[in-house]
Amino acid sequence: MEIEVRGLTKTFGQVTAVRDVSFTAPAGMVTGFLGPNGSGKTTILRALLGLVRPTVGEALIGGAAYRSLARPRRTVGALLEATSFHPGRRARDHLRVLAAAADVPGDRVDQVLGQVGLADAAHRRVREFSLGMRQRLGLAAALLGDPRVLCSTSRPTASTRPASPGSARCCATWRAGAGPSSSPATCSAR
């Protein structure tokens, strides 16, 4: 599923966070944004996900705005922060709440925990997790709906960069499962 950003500009009061950005991320490709803090990488993804409204321009997923997607959590998985967890909640319970809200079958929770290498930690409380484990839990949440597009601003750590077995297995499984008729496009920042 192709991602297209056309003439995107976003201002917050007197601050221009993004100015006239255009690009196409083809289906089946990994597209990364590089730039220093404050250069607009996250703002572009927030516009793509409908979390901020562009001042000018548009951001489209498969030719449609996020808000127009019939089942957005099944189309786009997003990890913008690895900190949106209740520290006292167990990993499996966190994902169960998200699955129920997205109308995703409950058995998908254990599948994604296995994909990201957290099956053995599913019963642990999030406050006990390292940063890398929290990032993997965030990735599991992004993968819950078996999305065709995956967006992330998460900076890789030793336990989440593609060289790690858990992350590499997860990404390979996600891409292989998409199949030729639904080639995933990955848009990742940082």
88 plus 167 within the same structural domain: yes
Question: Which of these, 88, 83, 183, lies nearest to 141 by C-alpha position?
Answer: 83
What pLDDT digit, counting tens, does each position of 41-98 carry? 999 999 999 999 999 999 999 999 999 998 888 889 988 876 677 888 999 999 999 9
28 plus 79 within the same structural domain: no
79 plus 50 within the same structural domain: no
41 plus 133 within the same structural domain: no
- Average pLDDT for the chain: 82
**Is residue 186 domain-resident?**
no
Q: Which of the listed residues 69, 94, 118 is the one where a domain comes to its end?
A: 69
Tell me how far apart the alpha carbons of residues 37 and 41 are, in angstroms, rounded to a whole number.
8
What pLDDT digit, counting tens, does each position of 172-187 carry? 444 544 443 333 334 5
51 plus 2 within the same structural domain: yes
Q: Read off the CATH number of the domain in which 34 is found.
A: 3.40.50.300
pLDDT at 6 over 90: yes
**Is residue 111 domain-resident?**
yes
29 plus 120 within the same structural domain: no
**Is residue 188 domain-resident?**
no
Note down the domain range covering 121: 71-178
Confidence (pLDDT) at 137:
93
**Is residue 187 domain-resident?**
no
**Is residue 64 domain-resident?**
yes
106 plus 132 within the same structural domain: yes
Q: Which residue has the tokens 């639904």?
A: 182
90 plus 173 within the same structural domain: yes
Higher-scoring residue by pLDDT: 3, 79: 3
Which amino acid is located at 162 in the chain? P
Q: Total structural domains in the chain?
A: 2
- Residues 6 or more apart whose Cβ sits within 8 Å of residue 25: 2, 3, 4, 31, 185, 186, 187
The pTM of the full predicted model, rounded to 2 decimals, is: 0.75
**Is residue 184 domain-resident?**
no
Local structure of 109: helix, strand or coil: helix
45 plus 89 within the same structural domain: no
87 plus 148 within the same structural domain: yes
Q: Which of the listed residues 69, 100, 122 is the one where a domain comes to its end?
A: 69
